[in-house]
Amino acid sequence: MRKPVVGVVANSQLMNDQYQVQATGNRYVEAVAEVAGAVPLIIPALPHCSGVEELMAACDGFMFPGGRPNVHPEEYGHEATEAHGEFDRARDGVTLPLIRACVEAGQPVLGVCRGFQEFNVAMGGTLHPEIRDLPGRMNHRMPPDGTIEEKFALRHTVKLEPGSRFIEIFGTDEVMVNSLHGQGIEEPGPRIVIDGHAPDGTPEALTIKDAPGFALAVQWHPEYNAAADPVSKPLFETFGRALMDWKYGAARAAE
C-alpha cells in the first residue's frame, strides 16, 4: 500500500540576497514523513507554474506552513501598512484558492501559523497586523535571543472549546504550545470555528464549519518536535489517517 503524498507549500526566499528560491523548513517535511506517515512534496508557491486542479490531482492533501511574509491585506479588504510587514503575493495566489477548493472537495488540509491565517482569509476573515499592540494581549512573537530550542519552547496554554475536534485528538481540553507569530485573526470568516484560545484571548486553533474532510489549522508550530510532543504527535497522526482515508477511499470510489 503506497503512502499518501502531501504537498507542503513553499515560501519565496532570496539566496545570497540575489537569487530567488522556493523553500520550506526541514521540520515541516520531517513531520509529514515521520509522524503523518506520508511522502512530502514541496509545492512552489508560483501560481503561473501549476493550477489548483493539477496540484489536487498530484497530492492527497496539503500542509500550509509558516513563513515570514504575511498574507497581503488586500486579500481581506484592508490597506497595507508598515505594520503588515513583508508579503508574498505569489503564495497568496496559490494557497487561498487551493484551501477553498480542498475544503469543498474534502481533501485533507492542515494549516500552521501563516497557514492558520490563510485558512481564515480564504474563508472570508480578516487579520490584525500586530496583535501585541491590542489591549490585554501578550507578545506572541518568537523570542529574539536564545537557542533554537529556547525559541520554540512551550510558552502558553491553549484552552479548547467544549465539543472541539481538537479535544478528541489531544484527549484534553487544555494544551501547552509554543508561540512564534506577530499577526492573528481579527474577524473570523463566516465558516471559521475558533476551537481554542490563548490566555489573552488570541485565537489559536480552528476548524471549518461543514467541511466534508480534515480541515484543521493551528497558530502555533507543531512541526518543531512533532515525533515527541504530546500535542503535535496526535495532530500529525490524525492528519495521516485522514490522508489514507482520502487516498484509498477515492481509489475505491473510482473502481
Q: Which residues pair with 22 in a beta bridge?
A: 12
Q: What is the mean pLDDT of residues 138-164?
A: 90
Q: What is the mean pLDDT of residues 65-69?
A: 89
Nearest-angstrom CA–CA distance, 192 and 125? 8
Element (H, E) at 112: strand 109-112
* Class of domain 5-254 as given by CATH: alpha beta
Q: Which residues contact 96 (CB under 8 A, 6 or more apart)?
A: 71, 75, 118, 121, 122
Confidence of residue 255 (pLDDT cuts 50, 70, 90): very low
Q: 224 in helix, strand or coil? A: coil
Lowest mean pLDDT among 105-114, 121-130, 143-152, 186-195: 143-152
Cβ atoms of 65 and 25 within 8 Å: the answer is: yes
33 pLDDT above the threshold of 50? yes
